[in-house]
Amino acid sequence: MTIRFDGRVAIVTGAGNGLGRAHALGLAARGARVVVNDFGGARDGTGGSLTAAETVVEEIRKAGGEAIADGADVSDFEQVTAMVAKATETWGSVDIMCANAGILRDKSFVKMEVADFAKVIAVHLTGTFYCCKAVWDGMRERNYGRIVLTTSSSGLYGNFGQANYGAAKSGMVGLMNVLAEEGRKYNVRVNTISPTAATRMTEELLPPQALELMKADAITPAVLFLLSEDAPTRTIMGAGAGSFAVIRILESEGINLPESDWTPDAIAAHFAEIADMATARPLEGAFQQTQKYIEQAAKAAGIKLGE
């Protein structure tokens, strides 16, 4: 099986460097027409230039592909909608959205300014929402859409000095969960990538030997798979240095306690059993958790549901 994107139009945000550039080049090499979006600012989101995006567009065109540059700031909804409108006017649709743009303003929580928290949330989380919102109606109308959001191990597992970034990146999972459900009947599939790579975002965080292993284009195969026609939906993939994994949020089976034991002391006494992950399983929707707890309570009380 050869995954191709012939006839598809893709937008890749933050595509002037690093991961986004690799994703844009990968999509174009397999036939997609690509909007190379990059605000062109510094790592902390200041400044701005179209040069980086134009350079990637030139690479794609020299290789025989089709691409246009766009400098929209993803934290500005009007600029994002204008970018989608330009792509639609140029090529007729937007079939693929790869939301990759991001900035860093790392500081320990005690030193983090409110503005630094707000700006990172605005670019990563709100900006991703804007990108999805701007393409959503068109994808539903055409009964086709593929979206990849970008989370991070900092959001999934935590990392010192990244309260803003971690909060934004964990929010991607919640956004994916809901959009995947709402898009399912319209053939809009939404997935999330958790990448680890050597980019200007991580170059100061990793030792030189590790940076040599962490090539940006090692992430792109997973992204292209998650954007493909036969992609799954509601899947988190981890990728880095040629390793690929699926990440799932699990919930222990837990126990039901009688009302007389609805105390913090009883929780403490039973915590090992409550936290036993031996029979943990992922839940496929919010109501499944509610249903599980109801069924456990009904069983404990000898109540047969539905009678």
User: What angle do the packed helices 127-142 and 77-91 form, to 10 degrees?
Assistant: 30
**Catalytic site positions:** 165
CA distance 221 to 244: 9
255-290: burial string, b at 16+ Cβ within 10 Å, e else: eebeeeeeeeeeeeeeeeeeeeeeeeeeeeeeeeee
Count of residues for the chain? Answer: 307
What are the phi and psi torsion angles at 52 (to 5°)? Answer: -60, -45
- The token pair at 72 is 């929209």
Coil/strand/helix, residue 12: strand
66-70/33-37 β-pairing: parallel
The dihedral through the CA atoms of 23, 225, 191, 67 has a sign that is positive
The dihedral through the CA atoms of 3, 10, 196, 126 has a sign that is negative
- The token pair at 182 is 């709402």
Cβ atoms of 233 and 183 within 8 Å: the answer is yes
Cβ atoms of 143 and 92 within 8 Å: the answer is no
